[in-house]
A and B are shown apart, each in its own frame.
Chain A
């Protein structure tokens, strides 16, 4: 286990949501020398909250999917603050099925408060979109590695974190609901968010102890060292997973969740 900075859970929540947080675009350009973006769900829309495309990682083709919160106010608006709509999940699934056809690993980066809770999202079947992702990914026969780099909010994150490996950046969180929501239930007081953060065990260290994630990637202010650390993790995990045949890969993926 790597040495990571000693922070309180609430400090990690704040760091996960910080404006300084590495963005999806930075991750993609920092990690891959080439990137061919693929748009659209081939049904009715292109959800900008999900970026997807093709890239080369250590000389091999991979499919990359990332949730994106955007940085400017208009970008944030267009991306629903990083909350994917059904079209976003359709796009992600389409790209993953394409990756399976061409036998390339899938690398997913997550930073989302959750699936978008809007009227149109309901009308277009948000529940079904997530349910389909969970069902299809349980048998998709290529390695799927997820890295949570900011917020991992509830079912909207799980639908992109149900593959073979899930890693988290040091300053990221993963939980069934927001600490604000939890504080409201537990103490009927949304202001007790710091206490809630502590109680929820949503930090990478706690989740690692519970066997929910496979490892933690250290973060500091130097982006280059972050990219190196992520690359090292991806390299190691892709090599491990590529050694397995398809049935072994899928059996192990099922077992990963069966234990809970």
Chain B
């Protein structure tokens, strides 16, 4: 049972792995792209916050993404509050409050009704700065309501994912969100409505294992990390180094799991085309 010895458990390593995967926007005049390792002048990031060399999209807040994505937006469920700390996790309330202040969101996703180049849709954008975009109960509730309301109002759903996976502090309730959301996605789909997922860096764990992989169309940003298990977990399971690009969007495209890779500056136009097409 070496594989699951106490200091060598999956989840344990997953957490460690995620910390190493954090590719934050570097400070200073010259930046280094965490994907292609090339340097560039900070202004070259531009409004889309992408690497001028490889098009990698740096991790950005939901609000920042919304600014260039939609010309109109009406937020939904901004008043939902997490009123549980089911495991009495120390300092969890403080952690939430801090994330709320930093992101100006009530949870790790921003949801609402958006207009993208005149196309109306239900839009969700996960924020990697809110406790690693993890899937809390209110995150799950907001996504479920997004699909439910979209089904009622006969709207397509566009959902941007960015997440480390389940919210450990909420224990089993976090896990239940995966099944809850899947139920709502299924009803939306049965109504013949379109669901487009855009996978951004990083999309991992329980989010990959549920709604991130349930779209009619699955799009990814260049070089986004997309996977189920963390890289270190895999390496310790395999007892060997794994290819650097195993969980890159480009590898997933090659293996047949995503439909297209689209850089940020083209997303608005392409999404509008797809929305109009359906």
Chain A interface residues (CB < 8 Å from chain B): 76, 80-81, 113-119, 121-128, 130-132, 134-135, 138-139, 153-155, 158-159, 162, 174-178, 180-182, 184-186, 190-191, 193, 199-202, 207, 210, 212, 253-254, 257-258, 260
Contacts and interface: CB of A to CB of B under 8 A. Distances in A.
B269 to A, nearest CB: 27
B205 A134 contact: no
A260 B234 contact: no
DSSP majority for the B interface?
Answer: helix
B179 A158 contact: yes
A159 B190 CA distance: 20
Chain B, interface size category, equals 35 or more
Interface stretch (B52-60, B81-89, B98-106, B116-124): B81-89
Contacts of B226: 127
B50 interface: no
B88 A257 contact: no
B34 interface: no
A128 B3 CA distance: 24
A11 to B, nearest CB: 16
A131 B208 contact: yes
Given A118-B237, A180-B7, A180-B9, A202 B14 contact: no
A127 B208 contact: yes
Contact of B137 (A175, A200, A260): A260
B227 interface: yes
Interface string B204-235: 01101111111000000000001111100110
17 contacts: A76-B1, A81-B4, A117-B237, A122-B246, A122-B247, A127-B208, A127-B228, A132-B213, A135-B182, A135-B189, A138-B182, A154-B10, A177-B14, A186-B90, A199-B88, A210-B173, A257-B180
B10 A117 contact: yes
B144 A134 contact: no
